[in-house]
Amino acid sequence: MIMQKMKKVEIITEGSNIEMLKRLLDKIDIQGYTIFHNLEGMGSHGFHEGHLLFNEEDALVMLMSVVEPQKAEDIALGLEPFLQKHSGAIFLTDTIRAKAKKN
Partner 1 sequence: MIVSNKEILYINSLIENAVDLFHNFWPMTSFIHHNPLHGFENMHFEEAICKATTYFHNRKFLSRQEYQKFYKEGKIDTAKLKTEIRDYCHKKELGEEYAKLFFHIFTNPETINKIDKQKVKQIKERLSSTCTSRRPQKLGINFGFCDAIDGLYGTTLCQEINSKLNKMAMRHLDEGQASWLPADKEKGMFYSWKRLIRKDRLFFDKSLQICRILIQSDKPEDVIFWVLSELQIPKDDWEEFFVLQFGKLHGWTGFLRWRSTNQDYLYQKKYPAYLEEFLAIRLYFLYMYLYKMKNKIGFFPDFVKLKSVLAQKESFLRLEYNSENILPGFIEKYEDALHKNSLKEMYDEYMIAFSEEHREQNAIFLHKILKNLDEDFDDYSLLLENLREFEDYEGFIWLKAMEESYLDDLMKKVALNIDKESRDNPSAQLFFCIDVRSESIRRCIEESGNFDTYGIGGFFGIPLKLIDISKKYESNLCPAVVKPKNIVYKFEDTQTSCGTKLKKVLKHIYHDLKYNTMSAYIMVETIGLLFGFDFFGKTIIPNQYMPLRAKFLDEKYRGKLLIDKYSKKDILNRIKALQKEIIKLAIKDNFALDVSSLDDELEEFLEIATSHEDLLKLKKGKIEPITKLALSLNLMHHEEVKLLELLQKEYQVSYFHKMQHIEKLSKVGFTFNEQLFYAKNALKLTGLSEKFSSVVIFCGHESKSENNPYESALDCGACGGKSSDTNAKVLAYILNKQEIRDGLKPDIKIPKSTIFISALHNTVTDRVVLDTQNIPKDRKIEIDNIQKRLNSATKKSALQRAKSLPFAKELNEKRALKFIERNSQDWSQTRPEWGLATNHSFIIAPRNTTRGIRFDNRVFLHSYDYTQDKIGYYLEIILSAPLVIGEWINMEHFFSALDNKAFGSESKVYHNVVGRFGVISGNISDLRTGLAAQSVYKRGEIYHEPIRLLTFIDAPFRRYRITIDKIKKVSELVYNEWIKMVFIDREEEAFFYYHGNSKSWKKIEFKGVIK
- Burial of 53: CB neighbours in 10 Å, binned 0-12, 13-18, 19+: exposed
Q: Is 37 among the residues that bind partner 1 (CB under 8 A)?
A: no
Q: Are residues 18 and 61 in contact, defined by beta-carbon separation less than 8 angstroms?
A: yes
Q: Rounded to the nearest whole angstrom, what is the least distance from the CB of residue 3 to partner 1 in the complex? A: 25
Q: Rounded to the nearest whole angstrom, what is the least distance from the CB of residue 101 to partner 1 in the complex? A: 21
The stretch among 2-10, 77-85, 88-96 that binds partner 1 (CB under 8 A) is: 77-85
Q: Are strands 46-48 and 41-43 parallel, antiparallel or unpaired?
A: antiparallel
The stretch among 3-11, 67-75, 90-98 that binds partner 1 (CB under 8 A) is: 67-75
Q: Are residues 72 and 63 in contact, defined by beta-carbon separation less than 8 angstroms?
A: no
The stretch among 3-11, 21-29, 93-101 that binds partner 1 (CB under 8 A) is: 21-29
Q: Are residues 12 and 60 in contact, defined by beta-carbon separation less than 8 angstroms?
A: yes
- Which residues of this chain interact with partner 1, rule CB under 8 A? 16-17, 19-20, 23-24, 27-28, 45-49, 51-58, 71, 73-75, 77-82, 85, 87
